[in-house]
Copies of this chain bind each other. A is one copy, B any other.
């Protein structure tokens, strides 16, 4: 194998596939990235067997030559070293040559690296997915969907299925749900289907996969194709494929948990309320459970308090419009703060159904997402 490639483009793609590589893998070949030079260009692959990323660099793009292939072939190189080396190389171009026994030479400017490569035949093949279940949505929307749900997944392995985000269809909407059983984030997005009859549910993508995907997808409205199979999901972008395994198990039915009535509703400005809770959390995170207390004082005033026996107490009054009954409730302030941080709307409604019942936070200007929280018992 022998090729010369534009350094910046190569660095960009090497960094993308390296996101899938784990140093803690038990399969030695997966500490490497696979590089294939073929007639169309260069294909790079990285994988930790949960996530696999494949990118393609064409010979030429928009009239500019990116790669010159002198001899086709393939090699696997240690991802951690290789990514750092290409990033630090001095020239505008990089020449990569593989000789006998996978001995690899990388030249750029005055620099020559001789690296011990690995046998590309040992590298596992990526899954071939049948593209029956396919839908599309813009990249920036998907990025937002991930941001507004993935923070709420469980980090505990006691119920593995809760460490993922659940996807299901509802008419022409995709509904994404994440919950750790104390809080729940739900986000809807309109999708284009390849087949009007496309229906699925219980497609649970690991939160870790979505976090990595989110770093790769760009903030534009290019469409991304999503292929769903029994145990894999594939996100197809221009010149990049992102595969993730799906989580096994039955995702809980969450629709029925969302209260439809209201005893008390508060309308609040998102950012000032977030800041009030952050101040209260300074003390309550010293105790256990990050408990913050909320009490309606009259129809126009709410009091937020939190206490740490050792440090002291914080009290803050917020002017607001209180609709409905008096309310006195305690909650995990950290969970509410996490949710407020991903709400882009300026105002929210908090809808309470009772001091011991779950409550809902939703933006006032649309119904595409909501957050549900369990109260905390304090006695």
Which residues of A approach B to under 8 Å, CB–CB? Answer: 78, 81, 84-85, 88-90, 104, 110-116, 272, 275-276, 278-279, 282-283, 310-318
Q: How many copies does the complex hold?
A: 2
B279 touches A313 (CB 8 A): no
B112 touches A312 (CB 8 A): no
B317 touches A110 (CB 8 A): yes
Some 7 contacts from A to B, beta carbons below 8 A apart, are A85-B279, A111-B315, A112-B314, A113-B312, A114-B315, A115-B312, A116-B311
Most chain B beta-carbon contacts within 10 A, residue among A111, A278, A312: A312
In the complex with contacts A88-B275, A90-B275, A275-B90, A81-B282 CB distance below 8 A: yes
A110 touches B316 (CB 8 A): yes
In the complex with contacts A78-B311, A311-B78, A314-B111, A278-B116 CB distance below 8 A: no
Kindly state the separation between the CA atoms of A313 and B104 in the bound complex, as whole angstroms: 10
> Which 5 A-B residue pairings sit nearest by Cβ, starting from the closest?
A115-B312, A114-B313, A112-B315, A114-B312, A113-B314
Kindly state the separation between the CA atoms of A312 and B77 in the bound complex, as whole angstroms: 11
* Residue from B81, B276, B313 in contact with A113 in the complex, judged by beta carbons closer than 8 Å: B313
Kindly state the separation between the CA atoms of A312 and B111 in the bound complex, as whole angstroms: 14
Q: Chain B nearest CB: distance from A362 CB in Å? A: 24
A111 touches B279 (CB 8 A): yes
In the complex formed, the residue of B with least CB distance to A311 is: B81
Q: Chain B nearest CB: distance from A274 CB in Å? A: 11
Q: Chain B nearest CB: distance from A180 CB in Å? A: 26
Q: Chain B nearest CB: distance from A168 CB in Å? A: 40
B114 touches A314 (CB 8 A): yes
Residues of B within 8 A of A317 (CB): 110
In the complex formed, the residue of B with least CB distance to A313 is: B114
B110 touches A282 (CB 8 A): no
Residues of B within 8 A of A78 (CB): 311
Kindly state the separation between the CA atoms of A85 and B276 in the bound complex, as whole angstroms: 11
B116 touches A279 (CB 8 A): no
B112 touches A316 (CB 8 A): yes
Residues of B within 8 A of A104 (CB): 312
* Residue from B81, B282, B318 in contact with A85 in the complex, judged by beta carbons closer than 8 Å: B282
A279 touches B114 (CB 8 A): no
Kindly state the separation between the CA atoms of A104 and B311 in the bound complex, as whole angstroms: 11
Most chain B beta-carbon contacts within 10 A, residue among A78, A113, A317: A113
Kindly state the separation between the CA atoms of A24 and B313 in the bound complex, as whole angstroms: 24
In the complex formed, the residue of B with least CB distance to A103 is: B312
